[in-house]
Chains A and B, each alone.
Chain A
Amino acid sequence: MRLPSPYSGVFRGGSTARTGPHALPLARIKKIMKRSARDGSGGDSAGARMISCEAPVVFSSACELFVAELTRAAWDSTLEGRRRTVHAEDVAAAVRDTNVFDFLVDVVKARPSDDGVSAGDGEGSVAPAVGVHGGMQG
């Protein structure tokens, strides 16, 4: 009789995946992947890609690394502001200050903060880059 490996629960997803070694739901990861595998390569069916079973497993771990790294960078911004609560503006600052997070510039900018202040404005924040609001230049 084959004994279940620690990873055998990944195919079932749901609560098994939650209690297994993966902190993030694999089925949801796969859904998000399917959106971009379809849309990211021209939008037609020729761009549709199948996704192997192991791919969401890799992302489960990669996303943990990503969240941890981005959070730590945001915490640096929190400390600079002499605060102890990480806010969305700290995440935005981390994105601005780290080259590898350049692809997130539009994502963090699109979010209005809870108190109605427009994105990019905060206590002592740097001035927004020219041309960002009106679309990309060049």
Chain B
Amino acid sequence: MSEAVGTPESGGAKEQERFLPIANIGRIMRRGVPENGKIAKDAKESIQECVSEFISFITSEASDKCMKEKRKTINGDDLIWSMGTLGFEDYVEPLKLYLKLYRE
């Protein structure tokens, strides 16, 4: 499959780069439903788009924070701070721990 050059928005390959792979999304989704639950393809596609929007949403906030503080690089702490600010406080502590382990 060749990549479309010159027109960034054309071609299926470029379109899919906006999202995380649906197989990975589906695997994570399966953990959220019981054994007898099923997940339709349209639900996976919907959550695929939601995840990309989540990444953009948090990144924009973190980017603005860096700009205000005159820093050029968005780091893990900026993202965690942004999530806490935007209503995802429950993620903050687990992610702080995860980041600490990663840095070690």
A residues neighboring B (CB under 8 Å): 7, 23-25, 28-29, 31-33, 35-37, 40-41, 46-47, 49-52, 54-55, 57-59, 61-72, 74-75, 78, 84-88, 90-92, 95, 99-101, 103-104, 107-108, 111, 113-114
Contact = CB atoms under 8 A, between A and B. Distances in A.
A92 B57 CA distance: 18
Given A62-B95, A74-B43, A31 B17 contact: yes
Interface of B: 17-21, 24-25, 27-29, 31-34, 36-43, 45-47, 49-60, 63-64, 66-67, 72-76, 78-80, 83, 86-88, 90-91, 94-95, 98-99, 102-103
B32 A67 contact: yes
Contact of B45 (A75, A88, A90): A88
B74 A52 contact: yes
